[in-house]
Structure 1
Amino acid sequence: MLKIDNLHAKLEDEDKQILKGVNLEVPAGQVHAIMGPNGSGKSTLSYVLSGRDGYEVTEGSASLNGDDLLALEPEERAAAGLFLAFQYPVEIPGVGNLTFLRTAVNAQRKARGEEELSAAEFLKVVREKAKSLDIDAEMLKRPVNVGFSGGEKKRNEILQMAMLEPKMCIMDETDSGLDVDAMRLVAKGVNALRAPDRSFLVITHYQRLLDHIQPDVVHIMADGRIIRTGGPELALEVEKNGYADILAAEVG
């Protein structure tokens, strides 16, 4: 599904490398988590994969289902099946949630050569998806994220994910700023979307989110690269002891 080989990247206007040789492979149907101290390059990795402006790849490669991600524009990466859930979803005043969702869904369907959904078809699908994710129908009538709580913003992104049906879902610290109940609702949405042909890369600081999502593999990232990979027990080790021992052993 997602394969990253020796990926190096930096900010375009700076010389300092942020990613320093990331190697990572996420097979279809699996959920992988990335943990690591602040400044380790976790969010930068998500930005580079999604094609965010301001970053320059200096070495290495990244592919999705065999397609060269780095050669694609951001909208082409989305059409190829990549989705990024932001740590801080932006508000879009004046743009209704339903209008935003239908435009995004039909743009991707058109890019894939599929028929666009009519208004009636779209409403039927979005209402079914919202209900399955415990999302209040009133949220659909409001401008995108305007006046939403932190939890509502994150749940709205889960709804976007459900509507777009991506193959590779990257979640950049989705649990940031959420209380326990909101975190459970977000995790429930993620678990509802798990499928044999869909993979997740969950970037998080906290093991408590992983209690609900239960990843297949956990990676520890530090100083711009993956320094250790293991099972869910690795997240428990970090929760108990912090990163100091792992950093001392792997980074020196």
Structure 2
Amino acid sequence: MSLEISGLHVDVETEDGPKEILKGVDLTINPGEVHAIMGPNGSGKSTLAYSLAGHPKYHITSGTVTLDGTPLNELTVDERARAGLFLAMQYPVEVPGVSTANFLRTAKTALDGEAPKVRTWVKEVNAAMQELGLDDSFTSRSLNEGFSGGEKKRAEIVQLQLLQPKYAILDETDSGLDIDALRVVADGVNRYTAQGDRGVLLITHYTRILNYIKPDFVHVYVDGRVVTEGGPELAQKLEETGYDSYIAAARANA
């Protein structure tokens, strides 16, 4: 049982036609593991996230992605979510006219096949909001509309806690957060992973979030592929040396 990515090549639609962004990604995330993907801007990290989630502008041209043995290539976006995949977006979308409370309840119902019990569900929502530093008024506001950048990121982790996917992809969830918000968000992710059977793919530029969310594996991602990997010590090396040597090596091998 795992989220397994094998030989993944992905094109993205551009004004000039399809452009290959992912150039053979291999990565396996087992339940209970936290994998951090680190790399420079423009290396294709968000493309990987969107491709796994099923964004229509990203086309898998070869390779496979399976979630607990189920091929994701053949599933629609909502089917991937029901299979247990979750994406916390780098830039959460504002949805005017849809309250946060209605969105959460609708999503939970769609995933479980039945509506949650009102009394217990309201308590769970309020508890999750409180743990992420959002007061109850956010439930009646339109999803992400008028939220600050940090509030949007906290709301994404509220969804993570309430929907309880098998595998979570966190696409630069740390971007735009001050140190207090970073700790709150990291605590929310750690509560999710503490259950022991959840897998996380954490995409980030910086090591600071890894001071609070300890990865089991760190992968360096350059030019659409994983170029090296290791344990948490690799993140510390990147903090000291940066990505230049990996970029140079990737260009030399291109």
Q: TM-score, normalised by structure 1?
A: 0.94
Shift of 1:142: 1.6
Give the counterpart letter for 2:10 in structure 1: A
> 1:188-216 deviations in whole A, cap 9, x for unaligned?
11111112211100000010011111111
Give the counterpart letter for 1:70 in structure 2: N
CA distance in 2, matches of 1:61, 1:216: 23
Matched, 1:47 2:50: yes
CA distance in 2, matches of 1:153, 1:57: 29
The corresponding residue for 1:227 is: 227
Shift of 1:250: 5.6
The corresponding residue for 1:157 is: 156
Matched, 1:207 2:203: no
Shift of 1:123: 0.9
Give the counterpart letter for 2:223 in structure 1: D
The corresponding residue for 2:95 is: 92
CA distance in 1, matches of 2:6, 2:78: 22
Give the counterpart letter for 1:171 in structure 2: L
Shift of 1:249: 4.5
Residue pair 1:227, 1:251 contacting (<8 A) in 2 also: no
CA distance in 2, matches of 1:48, 1:23: 14
> 1:79-138 deviations in whole A, cap 9, x for unaligned?
01100001011111111111110011001111xxxx321332321221233334443222
The corresponding residue for 1:217 is: 217
Which aligned pairs between 1:165-180 and structure 2 lie closer than 5 A?
165-180=164-179
The corresponding residue for 2:10 is: 9
CA distance in 2, matches of 1:132, 1:42: 29
CA distance in 2, matches of 1:89, 1:15: 25
Which aligned pairs between 1:66-215 and structure 2 lie closer than 5 A?
66-110=69-113, 115-194=114-193, 195-215=195-215
- Three-state SS of the structure 2 residue aligned to 1:152 is helix
The corresponding residue for 1:237 is: 237
> 1:148-204 deviations in whole A, cap 9, x for unaligned?
111111110100111110000001111111111111111111111112211100000
- Three-state SS of the structure 1 residue aligned to 2:56 is coil
Of the candidates 61, 75, 82, which is equivalent to residue 58 of structure 1?
Answer: 61
CA distance in 1, matches of 2:34, 2:244: 25
CA distance in 2, matches of 1:216, 1:125: 29
> 1:58-85 deviations in whole A, cap 9, x for unaligned?
1100011111011100000000110000
Residue pair 2:108, 2:163 contacting (<8 A) in 1 also: yes
CA distance in 1, matches of 2:132, 2:18: 44
Give the counterpart letter for 1:219 in structure 2: H
Give the counterpart letter for 2:5 in structure 1: I
CA distance in 2, matches of 1:187, 1:166: 17
- Say which is worse superposed, 128-137 or 166-175, in terms of deviation: 128-137
Give the counterpart letter for 1:10 in structure 2: D
- Three-state SS of the structure 1 residue aligned to 2:80 is helix
Q: Which stretches in structure 2 are left out of the alignment for 5+ residues?
A: none
CA distance in 2, matches of 1:88, 1:78: 19
Q: Which stretches in structure 1 are left out of the alignment for 5+ residues?
A: none
CA distance in 2, matches of 1:183, 1:55: 30
Residue pair 2:223, 2:250 contacting (<8 A) in 1 also: no
Q: State the aligned residue count.
A: 248
Residue pair 2:13, 2:19 contacting (<8 A) in 1 also: no
Q: TM-score, normalised by structure 2?
A: 0.93
Give the counterpart letter for 1:66 in structure 2: G
CA RMSD of aligned residues (A): 1.4
The corresponding residue for 1:32 is: 35
